[in-house]
Amino acid sequence: MAATWLKPLHVNKGKSIAQTITERTDYAGNPEKTEKGDLVVGYACDPRTVDAEFLLSKREYEYLTGRSQGKHNILAYHMRQSFKPGEITPEEAQAVGYELAYRFTKGKHAFIVAVHTDKKHVHCHIIFNSTTLDCTRKFNNFRWSSFAVRRLSDLICAEHGLSVIENPKQSPGRDYGEWLGEKKPLSWRAKLKQKIDEVVPACDSFDAFLSAMRMADYTVNTSRKHITFLAPGQKRPARLDTLGNDYTEAAIRDRIAGARVIGAHGGGRAGDEKAGTARPEKPFNLLIDIQEKIRQGKGAGYQHWAKTFNLREAARTLIFLQESGITSYEDLVSKAASASASFRETSKKIKAAEARMDEISVLQKNIAKYIRTRDVYKAYREAGYSAKFRDEHEADIIIHQAAKRFFDSLGLKKLPTIQALKQEFATLLAEKKKLYAGYHETKEKMRQLVAAKHNAERILGVNDPTSKARTQTHRDHTI
């Protein structure tokens, strides 16, 4: 996961609103920390003019609502999201941070996401405007909002297959530092978990795991009810069952067998007694590796149930393949790969359409502001850029200049018409709806084919489908 916090930004002492916003956004977008600005992205705002745009929205808010919070005014909110070293690239961190900001603000507030790479751990700085995009409301900093941010961040990281901090403690500083792997002394328990994570992938049995830990200079005691490990210099041995759900003896056995994976959802056993309870929408389940479960100590009753379960699921798989007109393993592999590629392509097109629609919305908003303030700015220019005239029309002048900078940043020589943008938006919306109509169907087709491929490999005994030798061995098999 990422460790995440949320802080409201007030006017700094001795600073103006504009200076405060500029200081915070400049810190986030520091070129020395963001690969010369390449790792900064904005939503409904341009990162290069974000301070002016935030300021303008607040002027419009006061103008439209007549409300002003004075010294209690919250200008923006600052979120920080830090990731485990080596687990994510800066580009991936930017995508995760952008998703967090968008989902938390529900797309109603402009924000920037800046990824910093100057520390050992990649981290995002997210600053979102307290004022909504329509300038009529402000963000409601509800009670436990920081907790909600952390929970949402955990959920998003889980969806992206990233690790999370489980059960964070009241004083997160030390635990967080250990989890990040920064230059702080690790506890004996943290070192033991780290060593287990290193050793487990190379082991093919639990005995091999114990032997590997002994070779790593740990004293292993298996004579008692709970296995303990003692490192050189450590005063008291540590029990496996006290290290967390992913480090119990049963969990490590499952990890060695490949039935448990440490990751976003905290691991989990595959093919246990609940495996037969399928979701209603799933046509069939993955087959169980019965022999592996028997080696883990499952009894005769489980073996009988698992065989019956596998026979039923194998039959349902074969029926699905027959109804789909798939008669060979090679055909199944091809169609599964094709379905996966089709799903990815559909997702890519939907995201591209959504991105362009967001761009059009921002462009329309700036064009409208530009047109609305054009006459005022023309008069300002004809007045010789009079300071008195600027004081009288400052809000409109700032709005006009910010819109002009936005157009310049896009390299626009001629502004598109509002009507043309509306037509393009309508076309993209229709395309997006059309794509969404087949999105879930494409996703379900991919899921069914991938599951059928897995089951067919188990039925045919294909352990490594990518191996040419094994594929050739089963080339004459039919399904």
Q: Which residues touch 416 (CB under 8 Å, ≥6 apart)?
A: 363, 367
Name the residue among 117, 84, 113 with its Cα closest to residue 100. Answer: 113
What mean pLDDT is predicted for residues 108-129? 92
Q: What is the mean pLDDT of residues 337-351?
A: 87
2-174 folds as: BirA Bifunctional Protein; domain 2 (3.30.930)
Q: Mean pLDDT lowest for which of 190-204, 351-365, 377-391, 461-475?
A: 461-475
Examine the pLDDT at 266 and tell me if it is beyond 90: no
**Is 439 exposed, middle or buried (CB count within 10 Å of its CB: 0-12, 13-18, 19+)?**
middle
Q: Which helix (H) or strand (E) holds 4?
A: strand 2-10
The two tokens of residue 226 are: 């709970």
Residues in the chain: 479
Distance of alpha carbon 90 from the chain centroid: 12
In 100-110, which positions are buried (b, 16+ CB within 10 angstroms) versus exposed (e)?
bbbebbeeebb
Spatial contact of 189 and 236, defined as CB atoms under 8 Å apart? no
Q: Of the ranges 174-188, 344-358, 394-408, which one carries the lowest mean pLDDT score?
A: 174-188
How far is 376 from 403, CA to CA, in rounded Å? 14
CA pair distance 219, 227, nearest whole angstrom: 10
Span 354-360, average pLDDT: 88
Mean pLDDT of 289-307: 54
Please tell me the predicted confidence (pLDDT) of residue 200.
Answer: 82
Report pLDDT for 68. Answer: 78
pLDDT score, position 125: 95
Mean local confidence (pLDDT), 101-127: 92
Q: What are phi and psi of 446, to 5 degrees?
A: -60, -45
For the chain, what is the mean pLDDT? 79
- pLDDT category at 332 given cuts 50, 70, 90 is confident
| R_g over Cα of the chain | 29
- C-alpha to C-alpha distance for 108 and 206, rounded to whole angstroms: 52
Q: How far is it, in rounded angstroms, from Cα 97 to Cα 89? A: 12
- pLDDT recorded at residue 64: 86
Q: List pLDDT tens digits, range 367-386.
A: 989 999 999 999 999 999 99
Backbone angles phi, psi at 171, to 5 degrees: -110, 85
Whether 258 and 279 have beta carbons less than 8 Å apart is answered as no
Give the mean model confidence (pLDDT) for residues 308-317. Answer: 68
Say if strands 111-116 and 40-43 run parallel, antiparallel, or are unpaired: antiparallel
Q: Is the pLDDT of residue 346 over 60?
A: yes
Residue 120 near residue 54, CB atoms below 8 Å:
no
Which of 178 and 303 is assigned the larger pLDDT? 303
Tell me what pLDDT residue 281 has: 39
Q: How confident is residue 111, by pLDDT bands cut at 50, 70 and 90?
A: very high
Residues 65-79 have pLDDT tens digits of: 888 777 678 999 999
Q: What is the DSSP string of 214-277?
A: HHTT-EEE-SSSS-EEE-TT-SS-EEGGGS-GGGSHHHHHHHHHTS---STT----SSSGGGG-
**pLDDT in the model for residue 313:** 67
- Domain ranges for the chain, please list them: 2-174, 186-257, 332-456
| Cβ atoms of residues 306 and 293 within 8 Å | yes
Q: For the segment 193-228, what is each residue's pLDDT rounded down to a tens digit?
A: 888 888 887 777 888 889 888 888 899 998 888 899
Which pLDDT does position 180 carry in this prediction? Answer: 46
The pLDDT value given to residue 378: 93
Cβ distance 188 to 128 under 8 Å?
no
**pTM for this entry:** 0.40
Q: How do strand 2-10 and strand 123-129 relate by DSSP bridges?
A: unpaired
For 39-122, list the strands marked E by DSSP.
40-43, 74-83, 111-116
* DSSP codes, 409-458: HTT-SSPPPHHHHHHHHHHHHHHHHHHHHHHHHHHHHHHHHHHHHHHHHH
What are 35-63's pLDDT values in tens digits? 888 999 999 998 888 888 898 898 888 88
- Per the listing, tokens 């041995």 go with 237
